[in-house]
């Protein structure tokens, strides 16, 4: 049996919108992530610019119906370029009272609220902390509320399928409980009607995913269509909406998450360098998906290793780097802390190694599924001794691809570990990615010595080139035997040395090598007016919100420019000159002011922090308001 996607458009009036922000929210077992991703896919295929923000509960399975178990998926889709998953919600789909309670504050006044009325029973209201139903007490009068009996409509659609199976003399395998689980597709069909989305991509997804489970497939298809037709025929909806295609640059696009982009970037970097990729990792939220994605690419010479702990994971990658591969590992803050001593070993050995930190809320276990930027000082200073490392940070989910390749170029050229910072927001968010022509990417040059480089046929493992990089001798190369380990090395020979002067020289040399990376990286770009009084400096996943907030401020007549750092150690070589051109420097970040502190120390500038430590990204409106307030405060930043 097959069910076709509706081919005719809605009969009601359609209103054009430039953009819309929708959030699906429900219990962690309600399929909100799948629902959101499918609505994203159909919007992307239609041609909208899209940006998403999944929001997971920390518990593996919190008690059903509680606020602790609410899972959400937010999508911003537009006919114009967008940089964030949106601020206030135009539409909120709340599958139970807990989802309503957790999300209603972010629905704009006059916004559309769609609830599953069947879930608003006494038990669920009590679990969510309501003494009575908000659907009838007037507290939702500022919104356009549509209470729909989704569970009832879902069960009815599945009962019709069961009756059809019986007429055909076939057994039906879904219980009533299983049938009720299809209600997320009812919500999805209804929202597809509301925003004029074609459901063909969703129908194809259901057919593919449940190809071997005919009853599940056909039940979901029927419920999906039931939701769509409910929107078309129900008298409660006066109209629906249309967001036209975006004028994106021509080319082939695909939807891309940050973790997926990192994995593909590492894979492409290995091909550009002509080196196999070894990835040693230990599972940790929110970095684990990098391991999952890389495990799919064995045909490209990728080797993945799930170690027994974080220390073993990085130790394996150090061994792989010594053996001549492109070696990488990833974790989040607590795991990176465990890797600290081994990272120092990689610095001492001066081996090309990529360490990825997908930041999350801390300290300790902290907020595993929430985002934060609080590991910057850990990345730059969080190892014993003078232990400098190059630190890069991606600004957008798709940019994670480019950062991974850039990290490999730096690691090979300068023979140094490189630490890449992303965060939970970037890791799980998606946006359209213009697939690059791989043949147009510059190869990554890698050299291995085959002959001794010292007097009398000696090999000097710490003799340096113009970038202060030491040679990368492969194990087993005749005549190139040398000592390894974590004890201090003598300059050039690499022998163990306790000489005080040699130690100071090697410490300074390793720092100079990191500093020298700034000489071949691009200069810092500034978005905005050259003569702006205020410079906003950001890094990492705050890029989109900062870009839009600064655009809004300039539209209002404020003189403000925006610099977003991709290299945090060393700083871009022209950053000091840029800072000097502005009277006021503001530094928004999702921590207590770490980058601001580094900028104040480095450039002796009276930079001012704008901080947020709530496990959620900045909203554009809150940045706009806070930046404007600081710009108009005559005592601030002078």
pLDDT digits (tens, 9 = 90+) for 511-534: 999 999 999 999 999 999 878 999
- Nearest CA to 237 out of 11, 464, 19 is that of 11
Handedness of CA 410, 412, 417, 423 (dihedral sign): positive
Residue with tokens 């005549």: 479
pLDDT of residue 388: 98
- Residues 6 or more apart whose CB falls under 8 angstroms from that of 515 comprise 570
Evaluate if residue 638 carries a pLDDT over 50. no
Helix (H, G, I), strand (E, B) or coil at 69: helix
Lowest mean pLDDT among 5-9, 120-124, 318-322: 5-9
* % of residues, the chain, pLDDT over 70: 97
Evaluate if residue 266 carries a pLDDT over 60. yes
* Contact assessment for residue 155 and residue 226, using Cβ atoms and an 8 Å cutoff: no
pLDDT digits (tens, 9 = 90+) for 580-596: 999 999 999 999 999 99
Evaluate if residue 116 carries a pLDDT over 60. yes
For residue 497, the number of C-alpha atoms closer than 13 Å in the C-beta half-sphere is 18
* Contact assessment for residue 13 and residue 58, using Cβ atoms and an 8 Å cutoff: no
User: For 534-631, CATH number?
Assistant: 3.40.50.920
**Residue 361 bridge partners (DSSP):** 367
Instruction: Convert 521-532 to b/e letters by CB count within 10 Å (16 or more is b).
Output: beebebbbeeeb
Say whether the peptide bond before residue 286 is cis (omega within 30 degrees of 0). yes
Instruction: Convert 563-580 to b/e letters by CB count within 10 Å (16 or more is b).
Output: bbbbbbbbbbbebeebbe
Rounded CA separation 527/560 (Å): 9
pLDDT band for position 3 (cuts 50, 70, 90):
very low
Report the residue count for the chain: 638
Determine phi and psi for 312, rounding to 5 degrees: -65, -35
pLDDT digits (tens, 9 = 90+) for 57-104: 887 777 888 999 999 999 999 999 999 999 999 999 999 999 999 999
Q: Would you state the structure tokens that stand for residue 67, as one six-digit string?
A: 């606020």
Residue with tokens 């380990």: 485
pLDDT band for position 631 (cuts 50, 70, 90):
very high
pLDDT of residue 634: 54
Evaluate if residue 8 carries a pLDDT over 70. no
- Compute the average pLDDT of residues 543-561: 96
- Nearest CA to 416 out of 481, 470, 350 is that of 350
* Contact assessment for residue 159 and residue 176, using Cβ atoms and an 8 Å cutoff: no
End-to-end CA distance of the chain: 72
- Compute the average pLDDT of residues 123-132: 95
- Residues 6 or more apart whose CB falls under 8 angstroms from that of 471 comprise 415, 447, 448, 449, 453, 461, 463, 465
- Nearest CA to 347 out of 380, 304, 303 is that of 380
Q: Mean pLDDT in the chain?
A: 94
CATH fold match for the domains 254-440 and 534-631: yes
pLDDT of residue 599: 98
Rounded CA separation 597/139 (Å): 44
The H-or-E segment that residue 297 falls in is none
- Compute the average pLDDT of residues 142-150: 96
Q: What CATH homologous superfamily does 16-243 map to? A: Pyruvate-ferredoxin oxidoreductase, PFOR, domain III (3.40.920.10)
Q: What is the CA radius of gyration of the chain?
A: 27
**β-strands 417-423, 390-393 pairing:** parallel
User: For 254-440, CATH number?
Assistant: 3.40.50.970
- Compute the average pLDDT of residues 24-51: 94
pLDDT band for position 11 (cuts 50, 70, 90):
low
pLDDT digits (tens, 9 = 90+) for 434-490: 999 989 999 999 999 999 999 999 999 999 999 999 999 999 999 999 999 999 999
pLDDT of residue 472: 97
- Compute the average pLDDT of residues 190-216: 95
Handedness of CA 190, 191, 195, 200 (dihedral sign): negative
pLDDT of residue 531: 81
Rounded CA separation 112/22 (Å): 9
Give 499-545 as a 3 state SS string: CHHHHHHHHHHHHHHHHHHHHCCCCCCCEECCCCCEEEEEEHHHHHH
Q: Where are the domains of the chain?
A: 16-243, 254-440, 455-520, 534-631
For the whole model, what pTM was predicted? 0.93
Instruction: Convert 261-282 to b/e letters by CB count within 10 Å (16 or more is b).
Output: bbbbbbbbbbbbbebbbbbbbb
- Nearest CA to 419 out of 397, 404, 434 is that of 404
pLDDT of residue 632: 86
Q: Would you state the structure tokens that stand for residue 543, as one six-digit string?
A: 């890029």
C-alpha dist (Å) from residue 248 to 251, 322, 464: 9, 44, 46
Helix (H, G, I), strand (E, B) or coil at 203: helix
Give 130-182 as a 3 state SS string: CCCCCCCCCCCCCCEEEEECHHHHHHHHHHHHHHHHHHCCCCCCCCHHHHHCC
Say whether the peptide bond before residue 363 is cis (omega within 30 degrees of 0). yes
């Amino acid at each position: 049996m097959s069910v076709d996607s509706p081919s005719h458009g809605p009969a009601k009036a359609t209103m054009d919108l430039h953009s819309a922000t929708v959030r699906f929210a429900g219990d962690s077992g309600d399929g909100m992530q799948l629902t959101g991703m499918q609505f994203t896919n159909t919007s992307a295929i239609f041609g909208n610019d899209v940006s998403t923000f999944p929001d997971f509960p920390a518990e593996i399975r919190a008690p059903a119906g509680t606020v602790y178990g609410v899972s959400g998926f937010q999508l911003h889709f537009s006919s114009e370029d967008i940089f964030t998953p949106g601020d206030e919600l135009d539409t909120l789909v709340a599958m139970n009272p807990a989802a309503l309670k957790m999300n209603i504050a972010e629905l704009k006044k006059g916004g559309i609220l769609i609830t599953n009325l069947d879930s608003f029973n006494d038990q669920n209201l009590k679990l969510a902390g309501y003494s009575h139903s908000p659907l009838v007490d007037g507290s939702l009068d500022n919104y356009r509320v549509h209470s729909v009996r989704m569970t009832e409509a879902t069960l009815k659609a599945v009962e019709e399928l069961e009756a059809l199976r019986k007429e055909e003399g076939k057994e039906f395998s879904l219980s009533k409980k299983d049938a009720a689980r299809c209600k997320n597709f009812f919500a999805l069909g209804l929202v597809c009607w509301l925003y004029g989305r074609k459901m063909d991509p969703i129908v194809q997804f259901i057919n593919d995913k449940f190809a071997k489970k005919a009853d599940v497939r056909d039940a979901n298809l029927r419920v999906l269509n039931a939701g769509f037709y409910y929107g078309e025929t129900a008298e409660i909806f006066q109209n629906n909406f249309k967001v036209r295609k975006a004028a994106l640059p021509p080319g082939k696009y695909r939807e891309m998450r940050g973790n997926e982009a990192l994995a593909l970037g590492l894979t492409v970097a290995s091909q550009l360098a002509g080196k196999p990729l070894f990835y040693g990792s230990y599972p940790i939220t929110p970095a684990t998906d990098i391991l999952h994605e890389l495990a799919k690419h064995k045909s490209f010479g990728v080797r993945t290793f799930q170690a027994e702990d974080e220390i073993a994971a990085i130790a394996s990658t150090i061994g792989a780097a010594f053996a001549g591969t492109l070696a990488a590992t990833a974790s989040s803050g607590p795991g990176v802390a465990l890797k600290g001593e081994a990272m120092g070993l990689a610095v001492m050995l001066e081996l090309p190694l990529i360490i990825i930190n997908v930041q999350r809320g801390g300290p300790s276990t902290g907020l595993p599924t929430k985002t934060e930027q609080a590991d910057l000082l850990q990345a730059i200073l969080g190892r014993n001794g003078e232990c400098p490392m190059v630190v890069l940070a991606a600004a957008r989910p798709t940019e994670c691809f480019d950062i991974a390749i850039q990290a490999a170029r730096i690691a090979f050229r300068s023979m140094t570990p490189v630490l890449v910072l992303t965060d939970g927001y970037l890791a799980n968010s998606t946006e359209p990615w213009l697939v690059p022509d791989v043949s147009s990417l510059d190869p990554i040059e890698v050299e291995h010595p085959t002959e001794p480089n010292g007097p009398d046929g000696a090999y000097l493992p710490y003799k340096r080139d113009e970038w202060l990089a030491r040679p990368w001798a492969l194990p087993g190369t005749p005549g190139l035997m040398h000592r390894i380990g974590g004890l201090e090395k003598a300059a050039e020979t690499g022998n163990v040395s306790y000489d005080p002067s040699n130690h100071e020289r090697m410490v300074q040399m390793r720092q100079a090598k990191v500093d020298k990376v700034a000489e071949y990286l691009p200069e810092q770009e500034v978005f905005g007016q050259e003569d702006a009084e205020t410079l906003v400096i950001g890094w990492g996943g705050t890029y989109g919100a900062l870009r839009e907030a600064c655009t809004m401020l300039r539209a209002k007549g404020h003189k403000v420019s925006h610099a977003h750092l991709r290299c945090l150690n060393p700083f871009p070589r022209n950053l000091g000159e840029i800072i000097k051109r502005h009277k006021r420097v503001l530094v928004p970040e999702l921590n207590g002011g770490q980058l601001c502190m580094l900028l104040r120390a480095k450039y002796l500038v009276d930079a001012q922090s704008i901080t947020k430590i709530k496990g959620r990204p900045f909203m554009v409106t809150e940045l706009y308001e806070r930046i404007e307030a600081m710009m108009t405060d005559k005592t601030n930043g002078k």
